[in-house]
Amino acid sequence: MTQSPTLSRRSTTSAPAQLRKSKQRGADARAGYTFLLPWLLGFIALTVGPMISSLYLSFTNYNLFEPPKWIGLDNYTTLFQDERFLQSVGVTVGYVVFGTPLKLAAALAVAMLLNSKRRGQGFYRSAFYAPSLIGASVSIAIVWKAMFGDSGPVDQGLSFFGINLGGWVGNPSMTMPMFILLTVWQFGAPMVIFLAGLKQIPNELYEAASMDGAGPVRKFFNITWPMLSPVIFFNLLMETIHAFQIFASAYIISNGEGGPAGSTLFYTLYLYLRGFSDFRMGYASAMAWLLVIVVGIITLIFFRTSKSWVHYSGDAK
């Protein structure tokens, strides 16, 4: 369908034929936009519209019941005097900084293992991907809570080795490791992308390196890493953005409160509580926009710095 009009366009010569073709192209475009229409309508009504109104609300005091009152930048300035807000930033940044690299390292390690030729590789790939299919769901968060609870399997397993930490869920200094383990365990999606990337690396490179006597470490840093760098970049970007948005598991494991002692008060959870428990929608909107801006800036920084370490094939090196 997409090929044939292009081909026929090249071969046209006579004016009437051209007219006919351009009419046809107009019809094509109409059909295209008509098919896009349901999505476009949804995008405008459900995404762009609410975003614009939340931008407006972020400059107001809005409690859901009464019309919003314009207060200028007040929401944004009070944010930085709000201790719980600062705490939520700390919690989230800690999670992003530690969780994301660990998750990507796990994903890359498993992808490399699964890239070798071995019997039953298809089975292993599915098995390692499975946690990600169910990972974001409510049920896993509940299972996680039970596993890391008092006398849960993790507690019992560790006490077998003489480590008595008690339940992790109620211990403010253990909740963050628990959430990081949860995200690391859900490495499936970046792993699949890494695997696809690894398959793109020509085997000759490794063979040539072997001939020159390079060991596995050397091969990894001199072949795999640079060849895979666009994929690593992509995964790093996506996972960082995702990590900033963690909500469902935090909501469930802490019963929607961000406890114990505020140790799981993730940014989006606090945003939600502000909006829907305290009825401060203007404040919550300001938080949402601040998050959008910060994630945008981080993305920009990633792109800027990527030039120094991401190599695209065809780049002059």
The footprint of another protein (CB under 8 A) covers 4, 24, 27-28, 30-31, 34-35, 37-38, 61, 63-66, 83, 149-150, 166-167, 169-172, 255-257, 259-262, 276-280
Could you tell me the smallest distance in angstroms from the CB atom of residue 30 to another protein? 6
Residue indicated by tokens 């695997």? 195
Amino acid occupying residue 279 = F
Q: Letter for the amino acid at 215? A: G
Residues 60, 311: Cα–Cα separation, whole Å: 46
Phi, psi (5° rounding) for residue 69? -110, 130
Bridge partners, 61 (sequence order): 69
Min dist CB 131 to another protein, Å, is 24
Least distance between another protein and beta carbon 172 (Å): 6
Tokens (6 digits) for 3: 């090929």
Torsion, Cα 41 241 258 159, to 10 degrees, reads 130
Nearer to another protein, 242 or 274 (CB): 274
Indicate the residue among 195 and 286 with the shorter CB distance to another protein.
286
| Sign, CA torsion 317/302/105/117 | negative
| Structure tokens given for 30 | 């109409």
How many Cβ atoms sit within 10 Å of the Cβ of residue 108? 24
Residue 58 or 115 with smaller CB distance to another protein: 58
Residue type, 39: W
Question: Do 78 and 61 meet the contact criterion of CB atoms below 8 Å apart?
Answer: no
Burial 74-87 (b: 16+ CB within 10 A, else e): ebeeeeeeeeebeb
Letter for the amino acid at 108?
Answer: L
Q: Return the closest-CA partner of residue 139 out of 237, 49, 252.
A: 252
Q: Which is nearer to another protein, 12 or 171 (CB)?
A: 171
DSSP 61: E
